[in-house]
Structure 1
Amino acid sequence: MTVTDTEPTPAQTPPALREARVPADGMYEGRRVLRRLPDGWDERPYELLDIAPRGRVIGAEIRGVDLARPLTAALREELNRALLEWKVLFFRGAHITAEQQRAFALNWGELETNPLLARGSAEDVVRFDKGGSATPTYENVWHADVTFRERPALGAVLQLREVPPYGGDTMWADMAAAYDNLPEAVKERIEGARAVHDFIPGFARFYGPEQLAPHQDRFPPVTHPVVRTHPETGRRMLFVNTSFTTHIVGMDRAESDRLLSFLVRQAHVPEYQVRFQWQAGDVAFWDNRATQHYAVDDYAPHRRVAERVAIAGDRPY
């Protein structure tokens, strides 16, 4: 047969593909916006400390700072700026006492207590002692701390006292990056939305009703914006998490569950994360307003001991 100008050639005819469909609300490959700092941020050199970045948008090791010594006003300012810019700071081999850990955290505000977790050497020191006969708790889920409070923690200072021979890393995710990369249609849908947070879902995984019921009056459900604004940087950040967010106000259960499932999965994107491999005496200081974290539970039957102090925060807006 003679091929005419009006007849398609084999090169012009696309091959037929079988019909295929991926599930709705999935997460797909592609370039992501990785913006570490707010637009217009005045990034200046540090004079009193050295910074070694651990990730593209989150996580930096701080060198040249002795956490056992009181902070000067100038050093506190530089550390706070580093916290805002990197969201989680790591201090290798600090080996500070619980009192020195408390004194360091007090530079950022009053310390909060948590009656739901094991107490350390003081009422505002939480002790995580995993292994042996200790009561198990589970932090191997992406979450921000105590979002069931009206004023969730500003941040936390965690020191590893004893590390297992392998495993036991902690991961943090930048929730501003997670928000930046949401589809525009989702951003429009959650603009102005509020969600309910409750302590019971997170703690019912390892405590029974008889242990939780006495705390219900102290910690009633609270509502927070689905997207909060950082009070110091102005960044907008996703503020829902698997442990404590129960539903979005004004949505029926099925719609809320589907949207929350999509939103909480954003913390799982590796480009938004940093992973830290602990050594005994290491300290991490993170901004709980801007991050979520995940304690990797891969070290059984070995022991892992950590102590944490948390700094009371503001009411999210």
Structure 2
Amino acid sequence: MSRLYQQAVARERTNSARSDYKRIEVHPIAGALGAEISGVDLSQPLDGQTFKEVHQAFLDHLVIFFRDQNLSPDQHKAFARQFGELHHNDFIHEIEDHPEIVRVARAATDQFVFGNDWHADVTYTKVPSLGSVLYALDVPDFGGDTLFSNLYTAYETLSETMKETLSGLRGLHTAEAIFGKSGAYVQDNYKEGHKATGVSHNEASTEIYAHPIVRVHPETNRKGLFVSSIFTVGIEGMSDDESRAILDFLFEHSVRPDFTSRFRWEKGSLAFWDNRCTLHYALNDAAGVDRLLHRVTVLDGHVDG
């Protein structure tokens, strides 16, 4: 184990061992990232101190989980809105009367599962998202877990030479490969094998925005990688071959098993993850059963320079 990696793990463990929570209980689920929060009813507005502690746990652990919640769509949105304005997705179909909430679903007859690639949500806009809040309404007894990866640790374990190489580089992000006219999620074979989550193509998918490959988190000031295999398609100022060599390495490095954690869903579970410093991946291992979750994505107020 490298010295850099030991330092990164020690930093995460230090964060996980915070003792200044008074209103909530925080239980880390892995060494890399993730914690379950208890003692909070998300159907009610958070008071000032509880919000402060939940927000701190979110920053400390990168993804936080709540069990046994019972939320209406309005309550789901109200919780998310405490952290910022809500995103209206251009491509994923919303639920009726709630344009900020998208369906993340799988029917028992579907072959595919939505989000079955490592990614962060909504990096393909001028201002990438802050985080996503995913709430489980109907999930299988086993299978269908979600994996998360820590992009702080992914950066901190790079060699100093690689860090210098990446400094100042900007990745090109677009939704076209997924939601474009010929995108993977709008092809007939995908739609036929995955009918539960509705997706549509529109011209917004052709937009390309550049974001730093090494991004400084606007709240923690920590550096982390900011790339994902489905939305980062190149590097500004580089040829396709040059970009591919660097990005393929970063994609693989970012999701090393020791950078990850895994969450098992139950009905009433809610996950809130930081899209600025994590990736996530939905496992496709629960065939023959229905799965329904609702997702709200929170906008960030910080524009990359």
TM-score in terms of structure 1 length: 0.84
- Residues 127/36 of structure 1: CA separation in 2 closer, same or farther (3 Å cut): farther
Report the structure number with the largest CA radius of gyration.
1
1-side partners of 2:15 and 2:45: how far apart?
32
Q: For residues 238-317 of structure 1, what are the structure 2 equivalents within 5 Å?
A: 238-313=225-300, 314-317=302-305
Q: Relative to 1, partners in 2 of residues 1:40 and 1:52: Cα closer, same or farther, differing over 3 Å?
A: closer
Counterpart-to-counterpart distance in 2, 1:135 and 1:119: 21
1:226 aligns with 2:213: yes
CA deviation profile, 1:207-254 (whole Å, cap 9, x unmatched) = 1499534334xx610000000000110000000110100101122211
Name the CA shift for 1:42/1:280 in 2 (closer, same or farther; >3 Å). Answer: closer
**Secondary structure of the structure 1 residue equivalent to 2:271:** strand
CA, structure 1 residues 286+93, in 2 after alignment: closer, same or farther (shift >3 Å)?
A: same
Which of 15, 20, 28 pairs up with 1:53? Answer: 28
Deviation string 1:74-104 (CA, Å, 9 cap, x unpaired) is: 1111111110000111101112111111000
User: Of 126, 138, 151, which residue of structure 2 is paired with 1:162?
Assistant: 138
Aligned residues: 287
Moved over 6 A (4+): 38-42
Alignment partner of 1:79 is 2:66: no
Aligned counterpart in structure 2 of residue 236 of structure 1, from 209, 218, 223: 223
The answer to whether the Cα contact below 8 Å between 2:70 and 2:268 also exists between their aligned partners in 1 is yes
Matched, 1:117 2:117: no
Deviations 1:240-270 (A, max 9, x none): 1101001011222112101100001123212
| Pairwise CA distance, 1:132 | 4.6
TM-score, normalisation: structure 2: 0.87
More divergent stretch after superposition (228-237 vs 38-47): 38-47
- Aligned ranges for residues 174-185 of structure 1 at < 5 Å? 174-185=150-161
The alpha-carbon distance between structure 1 residues 291 and 159, as it changes in their structure 2 partners (threshold 3 A), is same
Higher alpha-carbon deviation: 177-186 or 221-230? 177-186
Look up the match of 1:8: none
User: Counterpart amino acid of 1:222?
Assistant: Y
The alpha-carbon deviation at position 124 of structure 1 amounts to: 0.2
In structure 2, list runs of 5 or more residues that go unmatched.
Answer: 189-198
Give distance in 1, aligned partners of 2:276 and 2:252.
18
Q: Which has the higher helix share?
A: 2
